[in-house]
Amino acid sequence: MDKETAEKRIQTLRDELNQYNYEYHVLDNPSVSDYEYDTKMKELQDLEAEYPDLLTPDSPSQRVGGKPLDSFQKVQHNIPMLSLGNAFNEQDLRDFDRRVREGTDAKNINYVCELKIDGLAISLRYIDGILERGATRGDGRTGEDITQNLKTVRSIPLKISENQTIEVRGEAFMPVKSFKALNEAREAEGKDVFANPRNAAAGSLRQLDPKIAAKRNLDIFVYSVGEWEAGELASHSERLSYLKQLGFKVNPETKTCKNIDEVIAYIQYWTEHRPELSYEIDGIVIKVNQMDIQEELGFTAKSPRWAIAYKFPAEEATTTLRDIELS
Ligand SMILES: NC(=O)c1cnc(OC2CCCC2)nc1N
C-alpha cells in the first residue's frame, strides 16, 4: 500500500476505533464485536508501525503508550480545583439554601444534584480537541501530570467531537466489581489489599508504569468545566449536556431540582438506593444551576459558596450509633 493510501486508511481506522471505544465505554452500547474491534486495532498498529511518522497522540493505538516514568511532573491549575463545604443533615442543607438566597437578588434559583463519586478529582486539558494533559487535583493549585495513566481510562476520549480548547474536570474511580476482583488477585499473590475503591483508584493512577494502570479498569464521570476559551452556556446543566455532546461520560443520575425540598427528596432517594450502584459514592453534591448566580456568590478561601456536599453518615459511625441505640 502506498503512503497516501495508508494515511487515508489510518485515519478511517482511527475514527472507527474511537467511535467503537465511545460506544462501548461511554454509552455501554457497543455496535461491533470485540473481534472486529481487535482486528481493526491490529490493522491500525501494523500500518502505524510501517509509517511511524503518521503516528498522532489521539490515535487509539496510543492509549496504553509510553514507558514507565521515574516520577510525575508537577502541574499548576490556572483555575484552582477547590474543595466543597459539607452538610450533614437537613438543617445544614436549608442553611445553605438560605445563604444562597441571601447572596443574590435573583428569585428563580434552581440546583443541580450530582452523586458524589468516591474517587479522585482529575483535570483533563484538551487543545484543539486533542487530550494534551491529564492531572490530579493535588492540593487544588498544584497537581501531578498523570496523562499517560489517564489515557488508559477507556471512557476518557483522546479526541472530542469539536476542536475545542477546554479543561474538563471529573472524578476517576474504580467500579466495585473491579475493586473486588483486584483485591482477590492481590490476596492470591500475597500482596496487600486496598482498603476501598477510592484508594485502589488513587493507587492505580499513581503507578509510574501506564501498563499497570491500563489493567485496573478505571472509569470516570466528568462534572465541571475549568478553563474554557469559549466559556458560554448559562447554566451548569447545559454545560453537562455539552460535555456529553463532546463525548464525555456524565453521571446519568444527575438531576436539576427546582428548590431545596426537591434536593432533600433526591438525597432521601439515594440514601436508600445507594447500594444498587456499581460504584461507591460518599454523598450528594448540590450546585446552583445558574452560572451568573454562581459568579455573584463566588468563593470562600477554599470552597465555592454556590455548592455544597451532603455527606452520608459513615457506615461504621452508623453501626456504632445503632449499637448504642439497641444496647
Ligand atoms: N466527587 C464528585 O462527584 C464531585 C466532586 N466535585 C464536584 O464539583 C467540584 C467543582 C465545583 C465544586 C467542586 N462535583 C462532583 N460531582
Residues 198-223 pLDDT 10s: 999 999 999 999 999 999 999 999 99
0.90 exceeded by pTM: yes
Residue 116 is among the residues annotated as catalytic for this protein: yes
pLDDT value of residue 274: 96
Neighbours of 162 (CB within 10 A): 13
Mean pLDDT across 316-324 = 45
Q: To which residue does cell 438506593 refer?
A: 273
* CA separation for the pair 7, 17 (Å, rounded): 15
Q: Which residues contact 192 (CB under 8 A, 6 or more apart)?
A: 186
Residues 52-96 pLDDT 10s: 999 998 899 999 877 899 999 999 999 999 999 999 999 999 999
pLDDT value of residue 318: 41
Among 114, 173, 225, which is best to mutate for testing ligand 1, by the most ligand atoms less than 8 A from CB?
114
How many Å lie between the centroid of ligand 1 and the Cα of residue 64?
Answer: 27
Cell of 253: 443520575
Mean pLDDT across 124-150 = 97
Instruction: Choose between 66 and 114: higher pLDDT.
Output: 114
Kindly report which listed range (123-137, 224-238, 286-300) carries the lowest average pLDDT score.
224-238
Q: Does the pLDDT value for residue 319 go beyond 60?
A: no
* CA separation for the pair 27, 23 (Å, rounded): 5
Q: Indicate the angle between helix axes 176-188 and 197-205, nearest 10 degrees.
A: 70
What single string gives the DSSP state of each residue in 210-270?
HHHHHTT--EEEEEEEEEESS---SBHHHHHHHHHHHT----TT-EEESSHHHHHHHHHHH
Average model confidence (pLDDT) across the chain: 94
Mean pLDDT across 99-112 = 96
Neighbours of 297 (CB within 10 A): 19
How many Å lie between the centroid of ligand 1 and the Cα of residue 223?
Answer: 6
Residues 158-191 pLDDT 10s: 999 999 999 999 999 999 999 999 999 999 999 9
Q: Report the pocket of ligand 1 as residue ranges, CB < 6 Å.
A: 82, 84, 114, 116-117, 121, 171, 223-224, 285, 304, 307
How many Å lie between the centroid of ligand 1 and the Cα of residue 66?
Answer: 30
